[in-house]
Amino acid sequence: MSKRIVELIGKPNSNVLFVPTESNDDEVYIAESTEKFGKRLQSQVYILRCIHNHPGEPDIKKKIESADLIYRGGGNYAK
């Protein structure tokens, strides 16, 4: 499904903003998602950490405005 979503963007090297809030900014999940979108789907991935890091409004705004896709992580379903 992720591959199809990136195809629908319609341009190479799309900018993906990954927001891992539901996974509590889990570094393993972030690394897996970065791998999926970055290397396999040839996108530039930016991470917006909001749980353990509190970015300022200008940083949030810049990342959102430059994103072709905003991907919100689904979290850990085993909890």
What pLDDT, in 10s, does the model give residues 57-79? Answer: 998 999 999 999 898 876 555 55
d(CA 78, CA 8): 31
What is the domain extent for residue 71?
12-46+66-79
Among residues 62, 66, 71, the alpha carbon closest in space to that of 8 is found at 71
- Split the chain (79 residues) into runs of 10 and give each run's mean pLDDT: 77 86 71 80 84 82 93 64
Count of the separate structural domains present in the chain: 1
Domain presence at residue 53: no
Alpha-carbon Rg of the chain, whole angstroms? 12
The dihedral built from the CA positions of residue 5, 7, 32 and 48, taken in this order, carries a sign that is: negative
Adjacency order of strands within the sheet including 69-72: 44-47, 15-19, 69-72
Domain presence at residue 22: yes
d(CA 6, CA 14): 7
